[in-house]
Structure 1
Amino acid sequence: MRLPVPVGIASVALWLPEHQDTAENAVAERRVEARTARELGNPRLPVAGDVSPPEMAVLAAREALRGAGVPAAGVSLLLHAWMYYQGHDLWSPPHYIAHQLGAHAAVPIGIQQICNGGAAALELAAARLTAGDEERVEERQEEERQKNGRQEDGRQEDGPAPRYSLVTTADRFALPGFDRWRSDYGAAYGDAATAVLLRRPAAPGDLVLRALRTGAAPHLELMHRGADPFGRLPRENPTIDMRRTKRVYLREHGVEPFKKTNREMIRYVVTGALRDAGLAADDPRIRFAVLPRLARKTLDDAWIPVLGELLTAPAVDWGKETGHLGTGDLVAGLHEVVSRAALGPGEFGLLLNAGAGFTWSCAVIEAPAASG
Structure 2
Amino acid sequence: MKLPAPLGLAGHTWYPPDRDLTADAVREGRVDAKTARELGYEGLLLSADTAPPDMAVRAARPLLERIGCPADALGTLFHASIHYQGHDIWSAPHYIARELGTGAQPVGLLQQCNGGATGIELAATALLADPECGPGLVTTADRFQPPVWDRWLGDFGMAVGDAATAVVVHRGEYPADLLLHATGTVSVPELEEMHRGNDAFNTAPLEHSPVIDVRRTKRAFIRRHGIDRFYKAAHQGVRRAVAESLAHAGLEPDDPRLRWAVLPRLGKKAMEEAYIPPLVQVTPAELLDLGTPTGHLGAGDLNASLTQLAREERLAPGEFALILNSGGGFTFSSFIVGRP
Q: What TM-score results when the alignment is normalised by the length of structure 2?
A: 0.97
Kindly indicate whether residue 213 of structure 2 is the aligned counterpart of residue 215 of structure 1.
no
Q: What is the CA–CA distance in structure 1 between the aligned matches of 2:337 and 2:98, rounded to whole Å?
A: 30
Which ranges of structure 1 fall in alignment gaps of 5 or more residues?
138-162
Q: What is the CA–CA distance in structure 2 between the aligned matches of 1:341 and 1:262, rounded to whole Å?
A: 31
Q: Indicate if the aligned counterparts of 2:67 and 2:174 stay in contact, CA closer than 8 A.
A: no
Q: 1:119 aligns with which of 99, 103, 117?
A: 117
Kindly indicate whether residue 284 of structure 2 is the aligned counterpart of residue 285 of structure 1.
no
Q: Indicate if the aligned counterparts of 1:77 and 1:108 stay in contact, CA closer than 8 A.
A: yes
Report SS of the residue matched to 2:181.
strand
Report SS of the residue matched to 1:130.
helix
C-alpha RMSD of the superposition: 1.3
Q: What is the CA–CA distance in structure 1 between the aligned matches of 2:161 and 2:170, rounded to whole Å?
A: 29
- Write out per-residue CA displacement over residues 13-70 of structure 1, whole angstroms, 9 at most, x where no aligned residue: 0111011111122122211111111111112100000210000000000121122121
Q: Indicate if the aligned counterparts of 1:74 and 1:164 stay in contact, CA closer than 8 A.
A: yes
Aligned partner of 2:2: which letter? Answer: R
Per the alignment, residue 322 of structure 2 pairs with 350
Matched-pair identity in %: 50
Q: What is the CA–CA distance in structure 1 between the aligned matches of 2:71 and 2:142, rounded to whole Å?
A: 22
Per the alignment, residue 301 of structure 1 pairs with 273
Residue 177 of structure 1, CA deviation: 1.1
Q: Indicate if the aligned counterparts of 1:115 and 1:326 stay in contact, CA closer than 8 A.
A: yes
Report SS of the residue matched to 1:115.
helix
Per the alignment, residue 145 of structure 2 pairs with 174
Per the alignment, residue 331 of structure 2 pairs with 359
Q: What is the CA–CA distance in structure 2 between the aligned matches of 1:79 and 1:292, rounded to whole Å?
A: 21
Aligned partner of 1:340: which letter? Answer: E
Residue 202 of structure 1, CA deviation: 5.4
Q: 1:263 aligns with which of 226, 235, 253?
A: 235
Per the alignment, residue 30 of structure 2 pairs with 31
Q: What is the CA–CA distance in structure 2 between the aligned matches of 1:228 and 1:302, rounded to whole Å?
A: 25
Per the alignment, residue 164 of structure 1 pairs with 135
Aligned partner of 1:172: which letter? Answer: R
Kindly indicate whether residue 29 of structure 2 is the aligned counterpart of residue 58 of structure 1.
no
Q: Return closer, same or farther for 1:18/1:286 CA change in 2, 3 Å cut-off.
A: same
Report SS of the residue matched to 2:112.
coil
Aligned partner of 2:8: which letter? Answer: G
Per the alignment, residue 183 of structure 1 pairs with 154
Per the alignment, residue 3 of structure 2 pairs with 3
Aligned partner of 1:31: which letter? Answer: R
Q: What is the CA–CA distance in structure 2 between the aligned matches of 1:205 and 1:108, rounded to whole Å?
A: 23
Which ranges of structure 2 fall in alignment gaps of 5 or more residues?
none
1:176-255 matches, within 5 Å, as 176-201=147-172, 207-236=178-207, 237-255=209-227
Q: Return closer, same or farther for 1:205/1:100 CA change in 2, 3 Å cut-off.
A: closer
Q: What is the CA–CA distance in structure 1 between the aligned matches of 2:175 and 2:157, rounded to whole Å?
A: 40
Q: Return closer, same or farther for 1:14/1:115 CA change in 2, 3 Å cut-off.
A: same
Q: What TM-score results when the alignment is normalised by the length of structure 1?
A: 0.89
Rg comparison, structure with higher value? 1
Residue 234 of structure 1, CA deviation: 1.7
Q: Indicate if the aligned counterparts of 2:186 and 2:237 stay in contact, CA closer than 8 A.
A: yes
- Structure 1 residues 197-206 or 249-258, which shifts more? 197-206
- Write out per-residue CA displacement over residues 218-264 of structure 1, whole angstroms, 9 at most, x where no aligned residue: 11111100111211112222200000100000001111111011111
